[in-house]
A and B are shown apart, each in its own frame.
Chain A
């Protein structure tokens, strides 16, 4: 222990940090304990420990289907985002840098307009007619693209600034590459890290998206969050096992993003 740690100020700061950690940990720790408890009601500690809730959960077909459908929607949305955003970023930053200002305003919209507001219009526009998408995974993929857009745009824009796009393109052109070749073979590999980090992070919050999923699709294509909400009346232990399993999955993805972010390129 260094000298700074035993001064009154050092002790105070450590105490605050541990306090913060404890506040953030408490709901998770409580849920974890509940998911492992045989029975726990009206007492401070559970009566015994068991893994039966996890076994019940992971052998429930409806859960596995919801899990798979969540993955389909999230990966679909991330694939769509990548295909739409990467060419956009390249064209904006290489050919029309002025458009970056406009883009920075557009990507504020998903923040300023909460999903519950968008849902009102989406339900009316795509409930029937030529684009009847309500109740299908397609509408979720489209909406999740707008949710992921601000994060992906910012992360990739930062990455683009760091690699000095113009010099890189000029160098590639001098060596005889076409703009196409330069973009695909020179710029894209350099954006891999920024792209991967933003994909991992986007996944971890898209996986937990509930508003669009519940209002636009609901039980017609049940995702994990909607399933969790629909199971509200089943055993609390079962639900806890579900929450912990879900959080574990998110944790792995956030951790991967964190690791990737720290690695020196």
Chain B
């Protein structure tokens, strides 16, 4: 009897956590979700209709998706090649590069944008080298291609961090067995390596996509909010100085959250399918 009472008293300890979490995580989300349905002409889907009718908002969604997709794809390919090779070099080099990669995963946002302006801006050292060597005609960091390069940079360390442990699943004797049975390098990867790594690759890709879709600081610092992507549009309608429309911002915010949910659901579905095929 005494024991069970102390058990229920222990629940009181959860109260402060619940209050703070509710105030700073749940309440804002609930506010956004309800007010996204409050349009000028009353409650309903008016705001969402406006989003999907406006070329400007549609462009923001398109840019966000394109930048997120390409930066995640290039990022995951580099991270995959890198993590695999990291497994096969001596431990001193591996530990050093892994530690460095972990550290650079914190190098994002405003400082990263500044570093890229110095390197790849109009007069950046790297831009000049590449131009003088004739490799590129011109490079505009403040364009979509420039943003993809910039985003890719902060995707790579995160990708390495997430993919590196996944190679544990790929046992060394499988490679030897495959070789004994006459499989060459490509056949091994096509039929064993990649299928084994698929769940990890999908999971990492989803996290990279979400990471890029929600990113605000880097693009804001680079273009002072002049490049049209979803997070910039949302922020401009609650903290900009031209016109404020929190309800419309909420609708766009829900579109962003919706995209995140679709990506997560697609991931779950693909994951189940990949297991099914493996069986």
Contacts and interface: CB of A to CB of B under 8 A. Distances in A.
Interface string B123-157: 11110110010000000000000000000010011
Nearest to B210: A111
B16 A84 contact: yes
Contacts of B13: 87-88, 90-91
Contact of A30 (B32, B103, B115, B156): B115
A88 B221 CA distance: 37
Contact of B85 (A16, A30, A205, A258): A16
Contact of A118 (B28, B85, B88, B103): B28
Contacts of B11: 91, 95-96
Contact of A113 (B25, B119, B246): B25
A217 to B, nearest CB: 11
Name, among A17, A95, A109, A125, the residue most crowded by chain B CB atoms within 10 Å (CB to CB).
A17
B25 A146 contact: yes
Contacts of A208: 106, 108-109, 111
Contact of B78 (A23, A121, A247): A23
B194 interface: no
Interface in B234-264: 234-235, 238-239, 246, 249-250, 253, 256-257, 260-261, 264
A258 B32 CA distance: 38
B20 interface: yes
B58 interface: no
Interface string A96-130: 10000000001001111111111111111100000
Interface residues of B, number: 85
Given A27-B112, A215-B235, A125 B246 contact: no
Contact of B32 (A41, A88, A121, A251): A121
Nearest to A122: B28
B81 interface: yes
B10 interface: yes
A240 B114 contact: yes
B57 to A, nearest CB: 15
Name, among A2, A24, A146, the residue most crowded by chain B CB atoms within 10 Å (CB to CB).
A24
A115 B78 CA distance: 27
A254 B106 contact: yes
B110 interface: yes
A131 to B, nearest CB: 8
Interface of B: 6-7, 10-11, 13-14, 16-17, 20-21, 23-32, 35, 78, 81-82, 84-86, 88-90, 93-94, 97, 99-104, 106-112, 114-119, 123-126, 128-129, 132, 153, 156-157, 160, 210, 213-214, 216-217, 220-221, 224, 231, 234-235, 238-239, 246, 249-250, 253, 256-257, 260-261, 264
7 contacts: A10-B89, A13-B88, A31-B114, A113-B257, A117-B253, A118-B25, A118-B28
Given A87-B14, A142-B20, 13 more contacts: A14-B93, A17-B94, A21-B97, A30-B119, A30-B125, A45-B125, A80-B20, A110-B25, A116-B235, A119-B28, A143-B24, A210-B220, A232-B114
